[in-house]
Amino acid sequence: MNLSTQTKAFALLLSVGLFAGCSTTGETMDEGGAGTGSDVSAIDQEGGSTVYGGGDEGGVSSSGLTDEEKQAAEEQAKQAALREITTFYFDFDTSEIKPEAREVLVAHAKYLASHPQQDVRLEGHADERGTKEYNLALGERRANAVKRFLIVNGASRGQIETVSYGEEKPAVMGSNESAWAQNRRVELVFK
């Protein structure tokens, strides 16, 4: 198959252009890692970062935040992360809130206190051991324990509804300690 001279010349020019486009510019890097003559910096000298920059200074920079604002933003992010946890587990035959759940419940209480229009339903559950009546009462005691904790920490009584399902809605099917432990719980359902 013969290629025309024009096609060969075009292919040669394309190859040279591709090679030239992939080669380095020959600029040396300074200590900061930016090429000489560059007017773009990813991080300013105070440690803040610029989201959008340019000559018009229209960007948003984290270096403009005070230490108090940074700390408040970090605390707000931490509280939001804690509120992602909405299921709280209990030991066998008890309605005592575990110590590791307290910080998360305080975050939920603060959120409810600062958002009075927000309502939550506390669903109490128990494992399959015991009678249906006993497990309904145990689920109710667990939900009420969480309700009292939320109210003491700032939530309004009118924002909280409790319901007990006892053993009727297991999270995990099974008759072993692992399944039972996951079924002894209170779930927060925000409405």
Phi, psi of 115 (to 5 degrees): -130, 75
pTM of the predicted structure, to 2 decimals: 0.63
Written as six digits, the tokens of 19 are 């090679």
Q: CATH assignment of 87-190?
A: 3.30.1330.60
| CB distance 107 to 83 below 8 Å | yes
When mean pLDDT is compared across 8-22, 131-145, 173-187, the lowest value belongs to 8-22
pLDDT at 46: 45
Q: In the structure, what pLDDT confidence band is assigned to residue 17 with cuts at 50, 70 and 90?
A: low
Question: Residues 65-69: contacts with CB within 8 Å, 24+ apart?
Answer: none
H or E element at residue 187: strand 185-190
Give pLDDT tens digits for 131-177: 999 999 999 999 999 999 999 999 999 999 999 999 999 999 999 99
Please provide the average confidence, as pLDDT, over all residues in the chain: 78
Which residue did the predictor score with more confidence, 185 or 31? 185
Q: Which residue did the predictor score with more confidence, 75 or 40?
A: 75
Place of tokens 């939530």: 155
Please say if the pLDDT value at position 34 is more than 70.
no
Using DSSP, state whether 125 is helix, strand or coil: strand
Indicate the domain borders of the chain. 87-190
Helix orientation angle between 99-114 and 67-83, rounded to the nearest 10 degrees: 110
Q: Model confidence at 83, in pLDDT bands (50, 70, 90)? A: confident
Token digits of residue 94: 């008890």
Per-residue confidence (pLDDT) for residue 84, from 0 to 100: 85
Number of Cβ within 10 Å of residue 94's Cβ equals 13
Instruction: Give the SS3 label for residue 127.
Output: coil
